[in-house]
Amino acid sequence: MKTNQAKKFTQKLLAVAGVEVNGNQPWDMQVHDDAAFAKIISGGSIGLGETYVNGQWDCERVDQFIAKVLRADLHHHLKANVSLLASYLWHKLYNHQSKKGALEVGVKHYDVGNHLYQTMLDSRMNYSCGYWAGTEQLEEAQLNKLILCCQKLNLQPGMRILDIGCGFGGFARYAAEHYGVEVLGVTISQQQYLYAKEVCAGLPIEIRFQDYRDVTGQFDRIISIGMFEHVGYLNYRHYMQIVHERLTDDGIFLLHTMGSNSNQVAGDPWLNKYVLPNGMLPSIEQMGSAIDQLLVMEDWHNFGADYDKTLMAWHQRFNQAWPTLQKDYDANFFRMWNYYLLCFAGSFRAREIQLWQLVLSKNGVLGGYHAPHHHFQRE
């Protein structure tokens, strides 16, 4: 498509969402290079992200731009092209989240630098959605989330906990310190492994650089916070089989994950290429199939709107810290990281994606399970 045609088509399409090219609203797209239009039309998500990172267009509020585009369902106005179809088939047939493939996201995303995460996240280094009930502060929202998780699991002193994808050790440390439990945390990020080992030293916590598929033994409780997004469609059932095998008969599993409104076999192309390799979000149908006849659904809690607040807080902290970070990262990284955070914020704001906490039991909680989120109280 020629530049002028692509520009007119893009302008017409964005107008449906109330977005104007070179308009004066904070969500309007400011285009510096008209060549961007053809790249966006032909490349979709990748074209949009690459042209932004390359500085071919800007937007005062990328989060608002993305939210408007998604709420208007603009992707249904575009015909699927051959490359997107090929990508769909490639992800449908090939297991990108094998043990070898799973290591890629550890290296490319979670090992990008602990100093970056220390400046962006809360003091406990929670790299997942906070629970913003009764607060407007990131630190309290992340503490709320940890308390909520512990309450949902009904932790008791002496229990053995498996933390699948333990991140920087925030949950493991909090649970061991406040509930007297023993925790095994596993991660496939070398930097997270080293950091978590250090912050959890002296507590009944073991941190391993290990794939969840290689864990043995049984546990009273299992938790996974912000890791299931890396498991992959072809592995959902096997993941739940492992959880079933690792739980004691009266065990409970808490799964904290982003979720999709529809079935997916691949994640967003730009995010997969530049930020989160091999990621994808599960749907309700896929989750249901994965747990069928293996686990009992006790509770399903959606607080996706809280991830919008979390991401915007991270975005603010990242930008405030940029003067101290730019010696380690270039200008392209700055634009890429901002675009990543703001795209996710806009997606949650548009309710295009969700944040779920599922509580699953191995055999059903006798007498019924009572979820604490309906009357959440900070301790």
pLDDT of residue 111: 73
pTM: 0.91
111 in the same domain as 208: yes
Phi, psi dihedrals of residue 200, rounded to the nearest 5°: -100, 0
Q: Is residue 93 part of a domain?
A: no
142 in the same domain as 36: no
241 in the same domain as 201: yes
Angle at 176 between CA 174 and CA 179, to 5 degrees: 90
pLDDT of residue 78: 53
172 in the same domain as 281: yes
75 in the same domain as 119: no
What stretches in the chain show pLDDT beneath 70?
1, 75-109, 373-379
349 in the same domain as 203: yes
Q: Is residue 306 part of a domain?
A: yes
pLDDT of residue 105: 53
Distance CA 178, CA 195 (A): 20
Q: Is residue 89 part of a domain?
A: no
Q: Is residue 296 part of a domain?
A: yes
9 in the same domain as 115: no
Q: Identify the domain containing residue 198 by its residue range.
A: 99-375
Within a 10 A sphere around the Cβ of 250, how many other Cβ atoms?
12
Q: Is residue 355 part of a domain?
A: yes
145 in the same domain as 31: no
125 in the same domain as 160: yes
pLDDT of residue 98: 54
CATH number at residue 317: 3.40.50.150
Asked which of 47, 79, 111 is the last residue of a domain, the reply is 79
pLDDT of residue 3: 85
Asked which of 51, 79, 107 is the last residue of a domain, the reply is 79
3-state secondary structure of 204: coil
Distance CA 172, CA 183 (A): 6
Environment class of 156 (CB within 10 Å of its CB; exposed 0-12, middle 13-18, buried 19+) = exposed
pLDDT of residue 376: 64
Q: How many domains does the chain have?
A: 2
Q: Is residue 319 part of a domain?
A: yes
121 in the same domain as 268: yes
171 in the same domain as 308: yes
Residues in the chain: 379
pLDDT of residue 204: 98
Q: Is residue 320 part of a domain?
A: yes
350 in the same domain as 244: yes
